Structure 1
Amino acid sequence: MNKIAVFGRPGSGKSTLSKALASATGIQLYQLDSIVYKKNGELVDRSSFDEAHESILSSESWIIDGFGPISSFNQRLEAADTLVYVDLPYLMSYWFVTKRLLKGLVVKPEGWPDGSSVLKGTLESYKVLRLCPKFWNDDFMGRLEMMSAEKSLYIVKSVAELNSFVHRNIK
């Protein structure tokens, strides 16, 4: 486990899991939201993102949490030696997004880009969740299974698995 891609739907617990992985392994964590957004909450230009992303992928070890542009997601899947797909039930993802919004009314969510509106981000997360079945489907699972011949693949399907992942898989 040197190059770890953590991905899944909005509100699936990717950030929480990635932070725990980084703490347990000492591998540098890169949260895509901090690369995709400027400090004021606006999107960075694509060339700046691509440059930062390429720099991370070329390093010796990394944990990258998030999705980002589809081409960068595909590059990450290819470059990673470990894939962690957080595939919680949709209702759980909707609940986690809502919970993040409610907590975000009081304090900025951990890992949330500075200057980004929690309300705007939540509405975008709901929109993405509605569209997710078009991407996170049987075709995608088949693609992951083919990749598992060359990489370690973990599919986290419950909150209990999410909460115990690091303890069970990091020696």
Structure 2
Amino acid sequence: MKKVAVIGKPANGKSTLSRKLASATGIKLYALDSILYKQNGQEVDRRSYEDAHEKLISLDEWIIEGFGPLSSMNSFNRRLEAADTIIYIELPYFITYCLVTKRLIKGLFKKPEGWPDGSSVLKGTLESYKVLKLCPRFWNDGFLKRLEELSKNKTLHVIRSTSELNSFVDKNVQ
């Protein structure tokens, strides 16, 4: 486990799991939101994002969490190809909607960890709901089959419950 891609729907615990994994392994964590957004919460231009992403995946070790911009499937696919370990968090939609709402409520009092300074929690939550509505077009059985095919020479972990999510690092990192 040297190049780890952590992917999944919004608010499914990618950031929390990735921080725990980075702490347990000593591998540096890179949150895609930190290269996708400026300090004021505005998206960077696509070329800047792609360049920063290419630099990340060329490193010897990394944990990269997040999806990236919806318009940039090329970088997403390149990250999955470069990874030796893929962690796909696929919590049920009902739980995901609850987690997005929970993040909004908590975010009214404290900025969610990993969010760029100046980012609006309300705007981010509305974007998460919008993305969730589109998710079945992407995060579906067909995607899982493609992911399994891509992962023939990699380690693939599919996490489908909060209990699996909460115990993942303890069970998978020696």
Superposed structure 1 runs of 4+ greater than 3 Å apart: none
Q: Match for 1:49: what amino acid?
A: Y
Task: Give the structure 2 partner of residue 26 of structure 1.
Answer: 26
For normalisation by structure 1, the TM-score amounts to 0.98
Task: Give the structure 2 partner of residue 117 of structure 1.
Answer: 120
2:138 is equivalent to residue 148 of structure 1: no
- Tell me the matched-pair count: 171
* Residues 77-88 of structure 1 mapped to structure 2, 5 A cutoff: 77-88=80-91
Unmatched segments (≥5 aa) in structure 2:
none
Question: Any idea what SS the aligned residue of 2:129 has?
Answer: helix
For normalisation by structure 2, the TM-score amounts to 0.97
Q: In structure 2, which of residues 151, 160, 169 is the aligned counterpart of residue 166 of structure 1? A: 169
Task: Give the structure 2 partner of residue 37 of structure 1.
Answer: 37
Task: Give the structure 2 partner of residue 74 of structure 1.
Answer: 77
2 CA distance for matches of 1:93 and 1:15?
A: 14
Question: Any idea what SS the aligned residue of 1:64 has?
Answer: strand
Task: Give the structure 1 partner of residue 11 of structure 2.
Answer: 11
Cα deviation, residue 148, structure 1: 2.4
Unmatched segments (≥5 aa) in structure 1:
none
2 CA distance for matches of 1:91 and 1:70?
A: 26
Cα deviation, residue 51, structure 1: 1.1
2:129 is equivalent to residue 126 of structure 1: yes
2 CA distance for matches of 1:54 and 1:143?
A: 22
Cα deviation, residue 70, structure 1: 1.6
RMSD over aligned Cα atoms: 0.7
Question: Any idea what SS the aligned residue of 1:97 has?
Answer: helix
